[in-house]
Amino acid sequence: MRFAACKEIPFRTGKKVAIIGAGPAGLKAAGYLICKGHNVVVYDKLPAPGGLLIFGIPEWRMPKEPIKKGINELKELGVKFVTNTEIGKDITFDEIVSEYDAVIIATGTWKEKDLRIEGENLIGVYGALDFLVKLALYREGYIKDLDINLGKKAVVIGGGNSAMDAARTLIRMNIETIVAYRRTKEYMPAYKHEVKKAEEEGVKFMFLVSPKRILGSNGKVVGIELIKNRLGEIDSTGRPRPEPIPGSEFTIECDMVIKAIGEIPTPPKDLISKGLKVDKRGRIIVDERGMTSIEGVFAAGDVVLGPSEIGKALIHGLEVAKNVDLYLREK
């Protein structure tokens, strides 16, 4: 997977750009700006660049070597990566702004939505993204202890691609897996071929059910209580609203519950207080150039778009990088 827009740099502008986030949008932006002659430094909280491409998507679904090759190409061109560094924690945003001529925020959507039900803090309850990232960190050799209480039977809550990734990963770990989704199969947001593959691999599906509480004993998951739904009126998503059926509760024994009901944009922690504007969903608000409410600070990818596809994040990262280049030349 190539991120660079060139094979060599014909000239240097002397301008410096900081990119916060080494996922698809950040890498694509870095690949364009380095080829325009700007000095590019990419900061990321993980121990290596790649974001979801390396740490969020399972290796069996997306091979990592082509991605690492593209990242190494950026390094050879001169892109500098500063890893294990979180803005607002390890380095302040003010330090970044004072040192660079432009900044691109490309921090994605790393916070998972909570179920907001009883038992969510029990041992054995994990967010799908957190679960997959820990497995990737272990696979890549960055952690020695997996720190996951693996069980024999798991229930995955959700119907998107993250839910499919988690479910198919669990099956590969010889864990009996059920996906519980609140609507019918036709309304699942996951790719149809991913659902089909999950079924072929042994994942069981349960439709028109919602979690009501997670059951525990001695602080650990022992089961989950679900309630049956019926489909109601069309809601803001364009799909029928799932309506709980009173008195239809039932329980399933399990020792793992994976939450996969969506992610939330995660801009750097200390930016909101400095005037960065976000909408009600937590997405950074930008103008037609991709610039935020802070002069010289741009944003790209899922932190602007909300959870999206990799292709969209790559395209958006490139579009914003082009505007950053124009901004630097005008400046």
Q: What percent of the chain has pLDDT over 90?
A: 93
270 pLDDT band, cuts 50/70/90, is confident
Q: Above 90 in pLDDT, residue 186? A: yes
Q: Are 303 and 106 in contact (CB under 8 A)?
A: yes
Closest to 81 (Cα-Cα) out of 108, 120, 51: 51
24 or 146, greater pLDDT:
24
Position 297 scores a pLDDT of: 97
- Tell me what the mean pLDDT of segment 296-313 comes to: 96
Question: What b-and-e string marks burial along 153-185, b requiring 16 or more CB atoms within 10 Å of the CB?
Answer: bbbbbbbbbbbbbbbbbbbeeebbbbbbbbbee
The pLDDT tens digits for 202-232 are: 999 999 999 999 999 999 999 999 999 999 9
Residue 150: left if φ>0, alpha if ψ -120 to 50, beta else—which one?
beta
